[in-house]
Structure 1
Amino acid sequence: MRHNKRKHKLGVSGPHRSAMMGNLATALITHGRIETTLSKARALRPFIEKIITLAKKAEKANDAARKLHYRRLAISRVRDKKAVAKLFDELVTEFTERNGGYTRIYKLGQRIGDAAEMALIEFVDGNDEGYNPKPKKKAAKKATKKAAKKAAKKATKKVAEEAPAEEAPAEEAPATEEAPAEEKKDA
């Protein structure tokens, strides 16, 4: 039984898994969002959040030795100095007000070749509205057709209801409207 064993193993050995997580974290830090399998995205989420927490601790630290210590801890996990520098210098300011939940995962469906569940993992910004996929064309067309039909029915009902009521005053209205128009021309 796997009681109290929460690590995502991903079917690989320990060193392979740590290298894979480091590479995925590097790609996520560099690009802001990556597309990967759902299981790898779920394994990457706690990994990258711990590294972001290290960056936040380094930002709050007063002495240079403590900042360097947190940076080295992050480098030991990510193994890319440029990505860690970008995280510690640029990206950490986006997460200072946020207590966890730095990433978001979207399911994208199955991959064509092997039917693996794909996902998009990205950083969450303070002003971020999220990933807005393009609406499916069929659903959008159906919605617009239904809305057009409803509008047409309402318009025909209104015209049918208003037409008999307007016919009688319509004959009187042109005579009264023509008189003021003639007065304006004379003036």
Structure 2
Amino acid sequence: MNHRNKNNHLGRKYGHRKSLLSNMASSLIKNKRIFTTLAKAKALRKYVEPIITKSKVNTTHSKRNIFSYLRDKIAVSELFNELFEKVRERPGGYTRIIKTGYRLGDQSTHSLIELVDFNKIYTYKKKIRSVRRSRKKIKKVNNE
């Protein structure tokens, strides 16, 4: 039975799991998408979404709290950049996990985890086409 076991231990001890999730979270923030196994992606989603929620408040205190999770100055500055403004407006659900198949070595489920607002395929807005005009000029016939 799996009662009272809230998080996936990923077959690692506490320090290794903490470092793994911290490094994966900073890579996700810098690169906007990463490929990993499905179990790690699900664990990363639970780790990174509260961090992005804490970045909505742009204060020194929240920057220091986020730095304690990520331990990467570049990722923290990226979170408070203007590029992440559309992410901060979202009420939640900042990440998306897409299953991409199975890894060749051990057949584990491989997946893509990405930040929702940085995918150009799903957030594509349709361009309004202008009316096509022909190049032929219409000649007026003068009836005199």
TM range (shorter): 0.7 to 0.9
Q: Please, what TM-score do these two structures have when normalized by structure 2?
A: 0.79
Provide structure 2 residue ranges, at least 5 long, that are not aligned to the other structure. Answer: 124-144
Q: Please, what TM-score do these two structures have when normalized by structure 1?
A: 0.61
The C-alpha deviation readout for 1:96-124, integer Å capped at 9, x for no partner, is 32111000000011001111110000001
Higher relative contact order (CA 8 A, sep 6+): 2
RMSD of Structure 2 on Structure 1 (CA): 1.8
1:13 alignment counterpart: 13
2:97 alignment counterpart: 105
Cα 1:126–1:27 change in 2 (3 A) is closer
Identity value in percent: 46
Cα 1:6–1:40 change in 2 (3 A) is same
Q: Hey, which of these two has a bigger chunk of helix by percent?
A: 1
1:63 alignment counterpart: none
- Are residues 1:3 and 2:3 paired? yes
Q: Report deviation, 1:90.
A: 3.3
Aligned positions, number: 123
- Are residues 1:114 and 2:106 paired? yes
Find runs of 4+ consecutive structure 1 residues off by over 2 angstroms. 126-131
The C-alpha deviation readout for 1:52-71, integer Å capped at 9, x for no partner, is 0110123xxxxxxxx11111
Matching residue within 67, 82, 106 for 1:75? 67
Cα 1:110–1:127 change in 2 (3 A) is closer
Provide structure 1 residue ranges, at least 5 long, that are not aligned to the other structure. Answer: 59-66, 132-187
Please tell me whether Structure 1 or Structure 2 has the larger radius of gyration of its CA atoms: 1
Q: CA contact under 8 A between 1:55 and 1:92: conserved in structure 2?
A: no
The C-alpha deviation readout for 1:19-54, integer Å capped at 9, x for no partner, is 000100111111110000000000000111011011
